[in-house]
């Protein structure tokens, strides 16, 4: 786990510094670790740094950003240990968490070995497949209902190169990858670079799932007011025409 002083994010991005009074109003913010191709921890994506800095300014608070492997971060979030970023909502999670409004919507793409593409327009088309997701990843109610029955799921580290190697080795049939604001062709080009040889893997034609993501807090923490304040800040950014900067990769 890495603990970052998120106030530095605003400085690095040239944004206004957080007022000193906000530092005493501290909230733990749990975020999944981002990894480099070699497995070392990568910086937070630029859009997320911008979003954190914006919310700190608008809400006049200080986010104590803590990064964890996703499964560990989710366990801490469920215990009420902090606000969590990037959570999708389904029936099971709604019993545990309160959610902000949708912040952005990701695409869940299916990746196969080249030459082994198959028509897939709905969850049922995964019948008999072994599907790779990263550890702790929970998707739509429909996907979770069929997990382990219609298809098998292998939970892997959140490293695209490692998961692609397992795909090419035949250990899984399909890798699910999450993107935002990327076309199929853009994702295909990115994967061709990562495998260092074009044509080894293939992105299926359409995303399997459109996955809205949110901020969330465990119901036991009684932080609904904070989530509503986040909603207001997001609406303000949209009204001011600056929201798009928080949606870019």
The lowest-confidence range among 16-30, 97-111, 196-210, 211-225 is 16-30
Residue 18: is its pLDDT beyond 70?
Answer: no
> How high is the pLDDT of residue 196?
83
| pLDDT for residue 46 is more than 70 | yes
Instruction: Using pLDDT thresholds of 50, 70 and 90, give the confidence band for residue 23.
Output: low
CA pair distance 107, 209, nearest whole angstrom: 6
The alpha helices in 63-208, defined as continuous H runs, are 70-78, 91-94, 141-146, 160-168, 184-195
Sign of CA dihedral 59, 64, 65, 67: negative
Strand stretches in the chain, DSSP E: 2-5, 26-32, 62-68, 83-88, 97-99, 104-113, 130-134, 152-156, 174-179, 201-203, 209-218
Nearest residue to 51 via CA among 13, 79, 89 = 13
Long-range contacts of 19-22 (CB under 8 A, 24+ apart): 19/60, 21/60, 22/56, 22/60, 22/61, 22/62
pLDDT at 130: 96
Per-residue confidence (pLDDT) for residue 249, from 0 to 100: 61
Distance (Å, rounded) from C-alpha 145 to C-alpha 132?
16
Query: Domains along the chain?
Result: 2-104+212-246 (3.40.190.10), 106-210 (3.40.190.10)
Q: Compare 87 and 136 and report the one with higher pLDDT.
A: 87
Q: Global pTM?
A: 0.83
* Cβ proximity of 83 and 223 under 8 Å: yes
Yes or no: say if 60 and 19 are a contact pair by the CB < 8 Å rule.
yes
pLDDT of 160 reads 86
Tokens found for residue 90: 């389904």
Tokens of 207: 């995303």
At 39 the pLDDT is: 78
Mean of pLDDT values over 80-94: 95
More confident residue, 217 or 16: 217
Q: Which two tokens stand for residue 195?
A: 């495998």
Q: What is the mean pLDDT of the chain?
A: 88
- Can you give the pLDDT at residue 1? 54
Residue 192 has pLDDT above 50, yes or no: yes
- Check residues 213 and 13 and name the one with the higher pLDDT: 213
Token pair in block for residue 30: 């749990």
CA 168 to chain centroid, in Å, comes to: 24
Query: Span 30-47, mean pLDDT?
Result: 88
């Amino acid at each position: 786990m890495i603990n970052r002083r998120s106030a530095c994010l605003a400085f690095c991005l040239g944004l206004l510094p957080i007022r000193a009074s906000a530092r005493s109003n501290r909230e733990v913010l749990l975020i999944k670790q981002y990894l480099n191709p070699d497995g070392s921890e990568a910086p937070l994506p630029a859009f997320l740094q911008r979003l954190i800095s914006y919310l700190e300014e608008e809400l006049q608070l200080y986010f104590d950003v803590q990064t964890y492997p996703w499964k560990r971060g989710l366990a801490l979030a469920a215990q009420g240990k902090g606000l969590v970023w990037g959570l999708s909502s389904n029936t099971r999670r709604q019993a545990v968490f309160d959610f902000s409004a949708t912040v952005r919507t990701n695409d869940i793409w299916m990746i196969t070995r080249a030459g082994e593409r198959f028509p897939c327009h709905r969850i049922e088309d995964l019948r008999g497949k072994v599907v790779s997701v990263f550890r702790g990843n929970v998707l739509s109610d429909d996907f979770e209902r069929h997990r382990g029955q219609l298809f098998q799921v292998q939970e892997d580290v959140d490293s695209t190169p490692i998961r692609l190697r397992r795909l090419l080795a035949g250990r899984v049939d399909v890798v699910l990858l999450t993107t935002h604001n990327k076309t199929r062709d853009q994702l295909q080009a990115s994967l061709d670079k990562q495998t260092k040889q074009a044509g080894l893997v293939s992105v299926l034609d359409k995303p399997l799932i459109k996955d809205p993501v949110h901020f969330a807090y465990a119901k036991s923490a009684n932080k609904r007011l904070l989530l509503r304040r986040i909603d207001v800040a997001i609406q303000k950014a949209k009204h001011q025409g600056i929201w798009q900067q928080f949606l870019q990769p």
